[in-house]
Amino acid sequence: MIYERKVNYYETDAMKIVHHSNYIRFLEEARIYFMNNMGLPYDKMEEEGIMIPVLGVNCTYKNPCRFSDIIQIEVNIKEYTGVKLIIEYKLTNKTTQLLSLVGETKHCFTDDNMKPISLKKVKPEMNNIFEKYTKKCN
């Protein structure tokens, strides 16, 4: 699935390129977009007591993006176990056609008290959707 957006001026730094910290925000936007399109909006999951905290982020920056560039972020599920979720990203600068970033985020599922849970046991209907998209991505 591809998420697309335009780079805003305030997301750039003194070198006139996107500040490295903003790429993490872009990945989060893409992840939320991806989950919405899966039929699992994050706000609905939270309403049902399911949290998906970020355990880690790994990014390799390849080529910079600048103000008003259009970026595209390809989002895929790399690994899903019912307890753990790893999402991978490939960010391409549509304006320049250059690969700008490759990365991944690691997550787990918890209840609203931050106690780890298994979606397979607690929310089998959500688990089925994650499994379906994991197969599509792999």
Please answer whether residues 45 and 126 qualify as being in contact, where contact means their C-beta atoms are separated by less than 8 angstroms: yes
Taking the CB of residue 60, how many other CB atoms lie within 10 A of it?
A: 9
CA atoms within 13 A on the CB side of 63: 13
Residue 57 in tokens: 């982020």
Contact of 66 with 112, CB cutoff 8 Å: no
With a cut of 90, say whether residue 19 has pLDDT above it. Answer: yes
- 67 has a pLDDT exceeding 70: yes
- Give 138's pLDDT tier (boundaries 50, 70, 90): low
Please report which confidence band the pLDDT of residue 136 belongs to, taking 50, 70 and 90 as the band edges: confident
Q: Please state the rounded mean pLDDT for residues 67-72.
A: 98
Could you list the active site residues? 13
What are the structural domains, with CATH classification, of the chain? 2-137 (3.10.129.10)
Q: What is the DSSP secondary structure assignment for residue 110, as one 8-state letter?
A: B
Whether the pLDDT of residue 28 is over 80: the answer is yes
Whether 68 has a pLDDT exceeding 90, the answer reads yes
- Return the pLDDT at 135: 78
pLDDT in tens, 83-108: 999 999 999 999 999 999 999 999 99
Rg (the chain; Cα; Å): 16
